[in-house]
């Protein structure tokens, strides 16, 4: 590989009134460098106006989700050698399914609105006596593994951008809100199903998921999102039978 990389970056500045356009940059890079390092080089050495989000550079904060060669990824966890095409080029766009604000920065409001809609917190039963010590989680090891994995979400919005149903239907809750709802619905200490069911057991809730697995494939934390959503669907059927 050459010791430089070509980045084709989709630019957008709402203040100019110009439609999004592609701009090419070439910067020094090693194959093992993350794409984020190359982007930072562009901003530091060639164009200080390039807008993108990033913070931890370690796959923890979830802020640098972007579309790299057509697929949503974290720029800090994607090596240049993984995504360079045969001509040594990497194409970078903002995340799909969210309005763009400037260059690679998107408006996260639709994502957070859906997240908030599923009551994403533990709702313990109010009619049970308070335990003397902690509320114990009693569940099968496999079930706990899945719940624990779902807790790894870093809110990077990559699953949201990878889901074609979110792209078609802006009312759909989307994979992140659903896996977060699953995380609490599956928790034996939680009693929030009657509160969440009207939102989840809805054509725009769990039933809009078409089990395409893009979310699972794209998740940088390896969360089996589709599997969690399937468990949530079963829980909604059981809730319907119980009513
Ligand atoms: S910069 Fe924090 S996850 Fe990439």
According to CATH, what is the number of the domain 109-242? 1.10.1060.10
Residue 126 parent element (H or E): none
Residues with CB under 6 A from ligand 1: 54-57, 59-64, 74, 76
Rounded Cα distance, 222 and 52, in Å: 24
User: Residue 221: which of 146, 153, 147 has the closest Cα?
Assistant: 153
Which portions of the chain are predicted below pLDDT 50?
A: 1
For residue 128 the two structure tokens come to 């049970």
**Rounded alpha-carbon distances, angstroms, from residue 178 to 31, 113, 224, 228, 229:** 36, 13, 12, 8, 6
In the chain, domain spans: 4-106, 109-242
Ligand 1 centroid to Cα of residue 75, in Å, is 7
| pLDDT for position 132 | 87
Best mutation site among 76, 105, 158 for ligand 1, i.e. most ligand atoms within 8 A of its Cβ?
A: 76
Ligand 1 centroid to Cα of residue 64, in Å, is 5
According to CATH, what is the number of the domain 4-106? 3.10.20.30
Atom of ligand 1 nearest to the CA of 75: 4
Torsion of CA 109, 36, 45, 69, to 10 degrees: -80
Pick the residue whose CA is nearest to atom 1 on ligand 1: 57
Atom of ligand 1 nearest to the CA of 60: 3
Percent of the chain with pLDDT over 90: 88
Ligand 1 centroid to Cα of residue 143, in Å, is 29
**223 contact partners, CB below 8 Å, separation of at least 6:** 149, 150, 152, 153, 179, 216
Atom of ligand 1 nearest to the CA of 220: 3
User: Measured in whole angstroms, how far is the alpha carbon of residue 93 from the centre of its chain?
Assistant: 16
| pLDDT for position 99 | 97
| pLDDT for position 134 | 85
| pLDDT for position 130 | 82
| pLDDT for position 2 | 60
Atom of ligand 1 nearest to the CA of 74: 4
């Amino acid at each position: 590989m050459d010791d430089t990389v070509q980045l084709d970056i989709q630019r957008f500045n709402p203040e100019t009134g110009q439609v999004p356009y592609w701009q090419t940059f070439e910067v020094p890079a090693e194959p093992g460098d993350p794409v984020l390092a190359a982007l930072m080089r562009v901003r530091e050495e060639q164009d200080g106006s390039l807008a993108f989000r990033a913070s931890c550079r370690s796959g923890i904060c979830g802020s640098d989700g972007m579309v790299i060669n057509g697929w949503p990824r974290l720029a800090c966890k994607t090596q240049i050698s993984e995504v360079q095409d045969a001509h040594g080029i990497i194409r970078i766009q903002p995340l799909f399914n969210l309005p763009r604000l400037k260059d690679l920065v998107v408006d996260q409001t639709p994502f957070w609105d859906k997240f908030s809609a599923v009551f994403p917190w533990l709702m313990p039963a109010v009619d049970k006596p308070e335990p003397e010590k902690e509320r114990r989680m009693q569940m099968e090891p496999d079930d706990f593994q899945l719940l624990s994995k779902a807790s790894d979400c870093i809110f990077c919005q990559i699953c949201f951008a990878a889901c074609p149903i979110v792209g078609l239907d802006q009312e759909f809750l989307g994979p992140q809100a659903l896996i977060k709802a699953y995380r609490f619905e599956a928790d034996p200490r939680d009693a929030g199903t009657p509160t969440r069911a009207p939102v989840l057991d809805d054509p725009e809730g769990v039933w809009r998921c078409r089990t395409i697995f893009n979310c699972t494939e794209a998740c940088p934390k390896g969360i089996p999102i589709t599997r969690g959503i399937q468990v949530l669907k079963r829980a909604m059927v059981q809730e319907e039978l119980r009513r």
